[in-house]
């Protein structure tokens, strides 16, 4: 019995010591669920940064810029479409609360962002569990959106437990996350022939339902999109910052649907009424069908570089006097 008690006490002490060491290691190292988590965690630690340009975007532009070093005066807050304009507003507001206001803010969008009303299954993963400050919750509740932030603190507890479990597994199996090296645009220019498409086969996307990429049943922007794009505009105006919306590359089979849609008309009307500047990348360069992956939304790696060059050499210099 004494041996059993001694063994029990020793085991208990070892478990406590292991738990303390693991918790210290967890807090010293960064474990993120996704790019939104990571961007917000880093952003909350930044102080007194002075960048000329802030970029907000979804995963299309995120993929193009994530391994590329572009202009040094740019702070890249690209995440994904799931956070909606509300998430982009909260990102920009957090940046401005601790840093110097930029001269310009560019928001890169796909048409689907205009109808995102935070009612998809991804809202909890990418929005609620990231943007949960009291003022952020209050802002959403003011819209009567009581469907959001239900049991939020229990959800956050579950997420923290999941992150610790992932961290435990990574330590147990000595998993080391490799860091992709960034490359400069000079390297891209020297090694990439932008005129050749034959790196990839001309794959026909016959089975793709292009209409699902642009919800033609939606004739107007969502309430979330209108309210928070206006909030972003007002926030920029209050900080003497220029705002410009950029429409990202669209698959050529989808673009005509967008051009003739009621959603586009409503969006253009909103931009005009609120004096928000806008540029369509597709009018600067025509991306062929072969430039897109099978989802017909994201660009292939080689075309991500082309898009990054387009952003660096043309888009970020728009309206320079």
CA angle, 320 as apex, 85 and 268 as ends, to 5°? 40
pLDDT > 90? residue 185: no
| Residues whose CB is less than 8 angstroms from the CB of residue 262 and which lie 6 or more positions away in sequence, other chains included | 218, 219, 220
Least confident of 127-141, 199-213, 240-254: 199-213
Pairing status of strand 53-56 against strand 277-280 = unpaired
Residues 202 and 311 in one domain: yes
Q: What pLDDT band is residue 167 in, cutting at 50, 70 and 90?
A: low
Let me know whether 85 and 198 are in one domain.
yes
Considering the domain architecture, whether residues 2 and 109 belong to the same structural domain is answered as no
Count Cα neighbours of 47 within 13 Å in the Cβ-side half-sphere.
1
Determine contact, residues 66/181, Cβ cutoff 8 Å.
Answer: no
The pLDDT value given to residue 34 = 76
Whether 202 and 302 map to the same domain: the answer is yes
Q: How far apart are CA 235 and CA 241, in angstroms?
A: 8
Indicate whether 166 pLDDT > 70: no
Is pTM beyond 0.85? Reply is no
Please indicate, yes or no, if residue 42 is contained in any of the structural domains: no
On whether both 70 and 4 belong to a single domain, the answer is no
**Do residue 199 and residue 312 come from a single domain?**
yes
| Co-location of 22 and 60 in the same domain | no
Residue 85 domain flag: yes
**Which whole number is the average pLDDT over 230-239?**
97
Whether 204 maps to a domain, the answer reads yes
Q: Is the pLDDT of residue 198 over 60?
A: no
Residue 202 lies in a domain: yes
What's the half-sphere exposure (Cβ side, CA atoms, 13 Å) at 57? Answer: 22
**21: domain range?**
1-30
Q: Is residue 149 part of a domain?
A: no
Given a cut of 50, is residue 263 above it in pLDDT?
yes
What percentage of the chain has pLDDT greater than the value 70? 68
Nearest CA to 311 among 185, 182, 180?
A: 185
Can you tell me the mean pLDDT for 242-267? 93
pLDDT at position 179, please?
45
Please indicate, yes or no, whether residues 4 and 111 belong to a single structural domain of this protein: no
Q: Report yes or no on 96 lying in a domain.
A: yes
pLDDT of res. 295: 82
Which of 31-35, 123-127, 131-135 shows the lowest mean pLDDT across its residues?
31-35
Q: How confident is the model at residue 321 (pLDDT cuts 50, 70, 90)?
A: very low
Say yes or no: 61 and 17 in one domain. no
Beta strands in the chain (DSSP E): 53-56, 68-69, 74-76, 104-109, 183-184, 242-247, 277-280
What was the pLDDT predicted at 246?
A: 97
Q: Is-contact 312 71, C-beta < 8 A? A: yes
Q: Tell me, what CATH number does 104's domain have? A: 3.40.50
19 with 64, same domain? no
Question: Are 227 and 310 contained in the same domain?
Answer: yes
Domain count within the chain: 2
Residues 3 and 100 in one domain: no
**Is 105 a domain residue?**
yes
Domain membership of residue 147 (yes or no) is: no
């Amino acid at each position: 019995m004494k041996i059993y008690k001694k063994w029990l006490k020793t085991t208990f002490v070892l478990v406590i010591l292991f738990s303390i060491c693991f918790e210290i290691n967890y807090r010293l190292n960064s474990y993120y669920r996704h790019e939104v988590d990571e961007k917000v965690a880093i952003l909350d630690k930044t102080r007194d940064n002075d960048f000329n340009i802030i970029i907000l975007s979804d995963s299309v532009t995120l993929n193009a810029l994530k391994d590329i070093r572009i202009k040094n005066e740019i702070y890249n807050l690209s995440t994904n479409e799931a956070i909606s304009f509300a998430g982009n507003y909260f990102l920009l507001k957090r940046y401005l609360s601790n840093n110097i206001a930029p001269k310009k803010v560019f928001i890169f969008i796909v048409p689907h962002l205009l109808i995102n009303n935070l009612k998809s299954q991804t809202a909890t993963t990418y929005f609620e569990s990231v943007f949960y400050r009291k003022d952020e919750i209050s802002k959403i509740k003011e819209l009567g959106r009581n469907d959001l932030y239900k049991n939020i603190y229990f959800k956050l507890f579950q997420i923290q437990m999941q992150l610790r479990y992932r961290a435990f597994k990574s330590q147990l199996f000595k998993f080391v996350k490799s860091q992709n090296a960034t490359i400069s645009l000079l390297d891209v220019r020297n090694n990439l022939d932008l005129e050749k498409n034959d790196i990839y086969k001309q794959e026909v996307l016959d089975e793709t339902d292009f209409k699902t990429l642009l919800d033609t049943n939606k004739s107007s922007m969502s309430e979330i999109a209108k309210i928070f794009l206006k909030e972003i505009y007002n926030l920029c105006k209050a900080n003497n910052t220029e705002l410009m919306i950029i429409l990202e590359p669209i698959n050529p089979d989808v673009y005509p649907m967008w051009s003739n849609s009621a959603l586009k008309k409503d969006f253009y009307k909103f931009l005009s009424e609120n004096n928000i500047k806008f540029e369509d990348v597709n009018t600067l360069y025509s991306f062929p069908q072969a430039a897109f992956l099978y989802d017909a939304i994201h660009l292939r790696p080689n075309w991500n570089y082309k898009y990054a060059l387009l952003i660096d050499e043309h888009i970020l210099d728009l309206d320079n006097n």
